[in-house]
Amino acid sequence: MSQGEGAVGIYEKWDFAEEMELEKQEQRKAPKGASSPERAVVLLYVLLALAFVLFMALTIVNLQRVSAAWEALEQAQMRSENSHTTAWHNLSEVQHTLDKQLSGELKAIHSRLLNVSQEVENMRWKMTQCKAECGKELSDRLRVLEERDAPEPVLRQLAEVKQEQSRASALLDTVLEEMRNLSEILCTRCPAGWQQFAKACYFFSTTTKPWLAAKDSCANFNAHLAVVNDEQENKFLANRIMENRVFWLGLTDMHKEGNWQWVDGRSLSLSFWNSGEPNNVGHQGEDCATIYSNGRWNDATCSNAEAWICERSC
């Protein structure tokens, strides 16, 4: 082999070794390039997993907070209901106790007033009898004296006596009228179980009936369903109604829709209707009036069974 051929062989070997080295480098680079997308996908899955775990953790924490808040709200509502129930029960007990005490005191006062009223009535009756009998007797004697032939001085005295008799009779009439007014003011003739206000007696039923049956029930006591004349009377009725009860009034428009009249024949002038009432809703209509514990009125179906209030004069 010549020297030139040896040089060429060496060069070819060197070139071959260089190519091998380059191929190895490319092979080493190739796996790195191919693994980059896989690593990115793996990293994305890891981030998504972490985000999901974080989201679940926050969701659980928020649910616990909402559950705790809801439980606290329910407990507060339960305490409020228990407190309301307890307060209402205590109020009912206090009212019952006061009613019991007042009932005893009112009975004693009523007994005393009844005695006074009876004394006043007896005195008024005696004075009326005296006016009729004594006055007649005195007039008869004066007439007999006038018919006799009496001197002038005696006649003048008789005239003065007649004047005094007239003045005494007028004074007696005034006293009798005042005694009659006093007897009405005392108003001691309310039946047992009835409550007195002004110059009237009121009965609050404990059972329920339709309006017409309630009206008939009042008539059996020589009374009528309650007629409200002023705001004070309306407040009196409302203050004696428990919160969950409704009572019939003597007010209806069953004869002509919209023309509300009291059972005593008077047209409605002063009213205390609730907001939006009367509205006459329902298939049967609402033609009879009720009163609530707040003093407001409502129109209701007359066939409903409700409690009622009777009213009669003292």
CATH class of 195-313: alpha beta
* Cβ pair 268, 288 in contact under 8 A: no
What was the pLDDT predicted at 211? 98
The pLDDT value recorded for residue 253 is 97
CA distances from 220 to 102, 194, 275 (A): 28, 14, 34
Quote the pTM value.
0.47
User: Can you give the pLDDT at residue 216?
Assistant: 97
- Cα 5 to Cα 11, 15, 67, 203, 229: the distances in Å are 10, 15, 93, 144, 144
141-171 burial string, b = 16+ CB within 10 Å, else e? eeeeeeeeeeeeeeeeebeeeeeeeeeeeee
- The residue behind tokens 């209402």 is 88
Specify the pLDDT at position 312: 94
- At 243-280, the pLDDT tens digits run 889 999 999 999 999 999 999 999 999 999 999 999 99
Cis before 278 (ω within 30): yes
**CA–CA separation, 108 and 112 (whole Å):** 6
The pLDDT value given to residue 32: 47
- 8 pLDDT higher than 50: no
All structural domains of the chain with their residue ranges:
103-186, 195-313
pLDDT digits (tens, 9 = 90+) for 76-129: 778 877 776 776 677 667 766 766 676 566 556 656 655 665 565 566 566 666
Residue 206 has pLDDT above 80, yes or no: yes
Measure the CA angle with vertex 83, ends 307 and 86; round to 5°: 55
